[in-house]
Structure 1
Amino acid sequence: MTKLLLSLHVLAAILLIGPATVAASLFPRFARQALAPDGDRTKKGTAALRILHRITRVYSAISVTVPAFGMATAQRMGVLGDTWLVVSMALTAVAAVLLAIAVFSQDAIIDALDLHDTEPEAAPKLAAGLPRLSMITGLFALTWAVVTVLMIVRPGSTTGA
């Protein structure tokens, strides 16, 4: 059962967190194009932005299964109190907060695109926040990279890794 849970945990991490990370990281680039003045904006760029937003939202919601499988695996392995796991869980919580901030920022940009014809002054304000959004998504990816390393190395484990 432990091997099944561990396999599900790793597969969920790869298949759910990976796409959410990539989509969230690409979003600011396409947002710059979509929030550009009307002459520079393309329908293709706006459509790509909406797709990236949808991928980020859907995969973020479903990726709750990753820590759930991880906790079940850790319980079966008897390592719930190990320092590396506690740090990984704390970093997972940090990553969840960063992703929530990114998704809410994306929501604001998508809403602004929907209202652009009536409130054109909103676009420059949102465009000014894109470097911050890029930083948040970068920190999200970095946090998951650290969690991944902790899961592989498991400091203090007896696996010899």
Structure 2
Amino acid sequence: MLEHVLLSVHVLAAIVFVGGSAVATSLFPRYAPAPAGEGRSRSVAVALHRITRGYAAFGLVVPLAGMILAGVQGRMGEIWIIVSMVLTAAAALLLITQIYPRQRDALADRGEGDPARLRQLSMFAGIYNLAWAIVVVLMIVRPGSGQGA
């Protein structure tokens, strides 16, 4: 019963919070203030910035529930769990050190943003999303576990 609850919390939190932050980080550069402001919306960019921060904070439930579940199941030493934890930490680090600060800086520019910086922000969002996509595949395939999903 505990395993089912932990798995449900882990998966639902990943869908809602990681998915929400992934979408927000991807969309932010499209709406961030820039010199060629066509189709730009500062209010949308501000909302996406808040979503990035809030959903990422609530997203801490995902690795927490996942690590507890892996511990309960005795799987902490399996390679797919270890690689998933490393990728999760890398994604979090990328969000904290690159994506969120660059979003904040883009909003501070108030329409004078450097398009090259927005392209870099898009690239970092893509890497962030790729890390999460790899984690999802690892959760499904479970390489080295001896049993598939």
TM-score over 0.5 for the pair = yes
Cα distance in 1 for partners of 2:148, 2:45 equals 45
Q: CA deviation at 1:97?
A: 1.3
Aligned to 1:91: 87
Aligned to 2:44: 48
CA RMSD of aligned residues (A): 1.7
Structure 1's unaligned 5+ residue stretches are 117-122
Amino acid at match of 1:149: V
Q: TM-score, normalised by structure 1?
A: 0.85
Q: TM-score, normalised by structure 2?
A: 0.91
Cα distance in 1 for partners of 2:60, 2:47 equals 21
Amino acid at match of 2:104: D
Q: Does structure 1 residue 103 correspond to structure 2 residue 100?
A: yes
Within a 5 Å distance, the mapping from 1:1-150 to structure 2 comes to: 1-31=2-32, 34-36=33-35, 40=37, 45-100=41-96, 101-113=98-110, 123-124=112-113, 126-150=114-138
Secondary structure of the 1:159 match is coil
Q: CA deviation at 1:61?
A: 1.2
Cα distance in 1 for partners of 2:42, 2:6 equals 39
Amino acid at match of 2:145: S
Cα distance in 2 for partners of 1:17, 1:160 equals 23
- Structure with higher Rg: it is 1
Structure 2's unaligned 5+ residue stretches are none
Percent identity over the alignment? Answer: 45
Cα distance in 1 for partners of 2:49, 2:73 equals 37
Q: How many equivalent pairs are there? A: 147
